[in-house]
Amino acid sequence: MAVTRHSDAVAPVRSSGPVTIWFTRHVSTALGSLGRIVRQPFASLMIILVIAVTLALPAALHLAVKNFAAISGNWDDALDFSVFLRDDLSVSEAQGLARLIGQRADVEAVRFISADDALREFKQQSGFGDALDHLARNPLPHTLIVRPSGVNTSQSMMLLREELQNLPETDLVQLDTDWVQRFQAILDIARQTILIGSMLLGLAIIIIIGNTIRLDIQNRHDEIEVTKLFGASNAFVRRPFLWGGFWYGLFGASLALGLVQYGLYLLRPTVARLAGLYQSGISVLTLDAGESLGIIGIGVLLGLVGSWSAAARHMRAIEPR
């Protein structure tokens, strides 16, 4: 008897693979945890607000230091040497010295200010023009404004100052960097303080989320016992609580970014008015994409750590009787 082969035979349906099952279970658990948070809007909103304010505080301080550092960076670019020359030096000799110094590799530019130009500018800015007209001689020397190159380090800057001071035509070299160095030291202290404060606030978020998850575990004590009675592992029972911590951290960090951006929105008109008064191009720096994602990641991480620590500690104490 001949065997007939049916090419249109229906192939058996394959079951989903382990990765698909794992992904489906996590999606279902995540949506279930999100629904549980939505069904308790007031309590969930209070927790999210506390997390948001706790994260927004160090983020705002970091943004303030970032803006001050940007301003101080502009000051660093304008750190010039004021080289006051001897009184007996002629204009041609001073200009020749300016050209000679401008050829140095560690010097970006040199600007020559004659004694007459310096006196004329001083009369305009000081308001003592009539009194200065009665002077027998010009007391101001020729001056060179030396702009160091951007490749200079603090050691090379000091070496450049010493070499300019040792020139026979030089009377005095002035460089007002002490106040900038003090300001930078203050910014370093502020950064370290923000880091320490952020760690403490992060610990507070872990405690807040951990306490919230602990209360949720207590409210679902009987449900957890029944689930374990049917053979569920601690990892399976812990999963919805981890997703709960994930959602709390995500929503809290997102709201923190919103609070910081709203604060910047309120601050921009004041900064623009201040910049207009000083005829400056000062602008408020905001959080870039990397910093925003970092805050979101920190919030999610703190939420997972808080929920995992609470779930792991209290889950072992619940066993079916």
Question: Among 1.10.10.1100, 3.60.15.10, 3.30.70.120, 3.30.70.3040, what is the CATH number of 80-176?
Answer: 3.30.70.3040
170, 164 contact by CB (below 8 A): yes
Q: Count Cβ neighbours within 10 Å for each residue of 106-119 and write b for 16 or more, e otherwise.
A: ebbebebbbbeebb
What is the rounded distance in angstroms from the CA atom of residue 255 to the CA atom of residue 267?
18
Tell me the per-residue pLDDT of 125-143, one tens digit each, with 9 for 90 and over. 655 556 556 566 777 888 8
Nearest-angstrom CA–CA distance, 11 and 48:
51
Is pLDDT at 75 greater than 80 in this prediction?
Answer: no
Domain ranges of the chain: 28-75+181-315, 80-176
**Residue 173, strand partner residues:** 83
State both tokens at 19. Answer: 């990765």
pLDDT tens for residues 14-37? 445 777 877 788 788 888 888 888
Encoded tokens for 28: 């279902």
- The model's pLDDT over 260-317, given as tens digits with 9 standing for 90+, comes to 999 888 888 887 777 666 555 667 788 889 999 999 999 999 999 999 988 888 777 6
Taking the model in full, what pTM does it have?
A: 0.65
pLDDT at 305: 93
Residue 143 three-state SS: strand
CA–CA dist 50, 253 (Å, integer): 10
